[in-house]
Amino acid sequence: MKIPHDKPVLVTSALPYVNGECHIGHLRTYVPADICVRMLRKMGYRVIFISGSDTHGTPIVLSAEAEGTTPEAVVERYHEHFRRVFDALNVDFDYYGRTDSPANHARTEEIVKDLMARGYVYRKKTKQAYCNTCGRFLPDRYVEGICPYCGTLARGDECDQGCGRHLEPGEIEEPRCKICGSAAVYKDQEHFFFKLSAFSHFLLSYLHGLEGTANARNYALEWVKRELRDWCITRNLEWGVKFPGRDDLVVYVWVDAPIGYISFTEELLRERGEDDTEWARYWKNNEATIIHFIGTDIIYHHCIFWPAMLKGAGYSLPRAVIASGMVKINGKTFSKSRGNVVWASEFLERFHPDMLRYYLVAQSSHTKELDFSWDSFFMRVNNELVAILGNLAYRVLTFTYKHFGMVPAGEIEDEVTSAIESATAEVLSAMENYEFKKMVDATMGLANFGNSYFQREEPWHLIKGDEDARRRCGTIIKNVLQILKSICILLEPVMPEKMGEMWFQLGMETDLHATKIEDLRAPIRTGQKLNKPAVLFQRVG
């Protein structure tokens, strides 16, 4: 894909639901998003990068009750937790908001009113399970009972043990409250529905033009080609955004969550002192390129509900959706209850964040499943970051530091230029296709080339020779230093801290993070003093 250069770019990363700690499944979406943003900036784009905490919904309310505290307290705790993790990993959002902010409430109300005014929302009576003991209505997933089709024990929304059929609210027989276990009764309840079915035609053509990864587009198209059911967008809860004109209902969390993308943009621009209508350039007038990073589990919401809502309320539409594959642990699906999970904090206590950033993109292509294991992590770090990249930097820098102390004179050889050029071309084309693994593979290929070149030329012999030999040695060194400089620029988006360290050791005085891709073509300056080299990556495991 080609992102237009003349428009600002808005990149969003899916909103973590702040009902628990951050695990590496989350990071598989946020880290590549951050890498993408850093690379876009290197390519000269103006980018703002936004995310935030998804704070509403039933699970948070239930967690709060279980702990004897308030939803606000739960949200506050995990909101801060996620902020700290992103900070530690250098996932560098321009703005990280939360969906319970006044701005998001206001924007959500406005959008819902817009949808109502345009006739896309209607009311309908439904039967809903009510628990007399708990004194409240029960969302589908907190009801269990007997499946009317096959007679097995089933969840409120799906016969998960038996026939697998989806169950409409009110269908399940002998409903029981999953929270307290007592029998529930059905009560008539009025709810509001979004006319999703009216958007089939629009979605079909929208999705055909949607950029990003094929998995997102194809998955959504499957649904649209079948049939879209209207979508119940209200819930009987206290915690959330009140449905306009109804104190007893809040909007469903998947309405106000993506709207966070809009309100966080508003909040960021206000914080920057921009005009109050500046956000409209991004979200009303199609004057920006909107790109969403999500996980494959929420393709449905981002490729169907969300564009339908935006279209229905008269907002700008996303240009691309990039969906990362799910993470497994030792071949098994994530499961908190079974302890089959790897927490972000557990990682960060033991390893440098750049190792995790590297692993997350190097281990598997973005849309495929990533099977995490500690062995595979240790292997990648030891064989690639330590043995290939770290070792190349250290062997060259210590050699240079000892014998020259600065960048020696010499021409960059054609062979080296072409290796650098082709690696750069590969990185950029991988970037265009959101193939982050190919980005790092191409750069590691350049490091391999560097090792091979250095080994073949044997500068450790040349340095002991006559004046010609020593001059030749300097040329070799200058060439390998040029390779290192290029690697710093190409891998900075992936490993911002470690590449910054290498940049410093090379004696570069500019800010690596602000360095553009074109800058790697400039030869490293002869006479530039090196700083004392140090090992970049320690072996792990």
Query: Segment 353-412, which members bind RNA (CB under 7 A)?
Result: 365, 368-369, 371, 379, 383, 386-388, 390-391, 393-396, 398-399
Least Å distance, CB 531 to RNA, is 16
Name which of 514 and 535 has its Cβ closer to RNA.
535
Least Å distance, CB 291 to RNA, is 18
Query: Which residues make Cβ contacts (< 8 Å) with residue 493, sequence separation at least 6?
Result: 34, 35, 36, 37, 38, 39, 42, 439
| Bridging pattern class, strands 234-235 and 246-251 | antiparallel
Yes or no: say if 86 and 344 are a contact pair by the CB < 8 Å rule: no
Residue 301 is encoded by which pair of tokens?
A: 């919401």
Q: Is 220 in the site for RNA (CB under 7 A)?
A: no
Yes or no: say if 259 and 105 are a contact pair by the CB < 8 Å rule: no
Q: Is 300 in the site for RNA (CB under 7 A)?
A: yes
Name which of 50 and 298 has its Cβ closer to RNA.
298
Least Å distance, CB 218 to RNA, is 6
Q: Exactly one of 125, 208, 226, 532 binds RNA (CB under 7 A); which one?
A: 226
| Bridging pattern class, strands 121-131 and 136-137 | antiparallel
Burial class (CB in 10 A: 0-12, 13-18, 19+), 146: middle
Size of the site for RNA (CB under 7 A): 74
Least Å distance, CB 124 to RNA, is 12
Q: Exactly one of 460, 465, 514, 527 binds RNA (CB under 7 A); which one?
A: 460
Least Å distance, CB 211 to RNA, is 18
Residue 64 is encoded by which pair of tokens?
A: 């709060």
Burial class (CB in 10 A: 0-12, 13-18, 19+), 335: exposed
Residue 444 is encoded by which pair of tokens?
A: 């590691």
Q: Which residues partner with 129 through β-bridges?
A: 186
Least Å distance, CB 284 to RNA, is 25
Q: Exactly one of 5, 46, 123, 461 binds RNA (CB under 7 A); which one?
A: 461
Task: Pick the stretch among 32-40, 82-90, 137-145, 521-529 that binds RNA (CB under 7 A).
Answer: 137-145
Query: Which residues make Cβ contacts (< 8 Å) with residue 44, sequence separation at least 6?
Result: 5, 516, 517
Name which of 289 and 365 has its Cβ closer to RNA.
365
Considering only residues 512 through 541, tell me which ones interact with RNA, judged by CB under 7 A: 535-539
Give the closest residue to 35 by CA, choosing from 539, 496, 411, 399.
496
Yes or no: say if 282 and 290 are a contact pair by the CB < 8 Å rule: yes
Q: Which residues partner with 98 through β-bridges?
A: 53
Query: Which residues make Cβ contacts (< 8 Å) with residue 395, sequence separation at least 6?
Result: 454
Q: Exactly one of 213, 215, 263, 482 binds RNA (CB under 7 A); which one?
A: 215
Q: Is 458 in the site for RNA (CB under 7 A)?
A: yes
Yes or no: say if 172 and 209 are a contact pair by the CB < 8 Å rule: no
Least Å distance, CB 266 to RNA, is 21
Give the closest residue to 242 by CA, choosing from 232, 252, 254, 250.
250
Least Å distance, CB 268 to RNA, is 22
Name which of 522 and 532 has its Cβ closer to RNA.
532
To 10 degrees, the CA torsion angle through 254, 257, 259, 263? 170
Considering only residues 430 through 449, tell me which ones interact with RNA, judged by CB under 7 A: 448
C-beta neighbour count of 531 within 10 angstroms: 14
Binding mask 84-123 for RNA (x = CB under 7 A): ----------------------------------------
Considering only residues 195 through 214, tell me which ones interact with RNA, judged by CB under 7 A: 196
Full strand arrangement of the beta sheet holding 246-251 = 234-235, 246-251, 242-243
Considering only residues 5 through 44, tell me which ones interact with RNA, judged by CB under 7 A: 14, 16-17, 19, 25-26
Least Å distance, CB 5 to RNA, is 25
Name which of 289 and 505 has its Cβ closer to RNA.
505
Least Å distance, CB 111 to RNA, is 16
Least Å distance, CB 317 to RNA, is 19
Query: Which residues make Cβ contacts (< 8 Å) with residue 267, sequence separation at least 6?
Result: 95, 97, 101, 103
Binding mask 51-90 for RNA (x = CB under 7 A): ---x--xxx-------------------------------
Yes or no: say if 427 and 439 are a contact pair by the CB < 8 Å rule: yes
Q: Exactly one of 13, 451, 479, 515 binds RNA (CB under 7 A); which one?
A: 451
Burial class (CB in 10 A: 0-12, 13-18, 19+), 267: buried
Considering only residues 139 through 178, tell me which ones interact with RNA, judged by CB under 7 A: 139-141, 157-158, 164, 166
Least Å distance, CB 454 to RNA, is 6
Name which of 253 and 489 has its Cβ closer to RNA.
253
Binding mask 241-270 for RNA (x = CB under 7 A): -----------xxx--x-------------
Name which of 280 and 469 has its Cβ closer to RNA.
469
Name which of 390 and 496 has its Cβ closer to RNA.
390
d(C-alpha 136, C-alpha 250), whole Å: 14
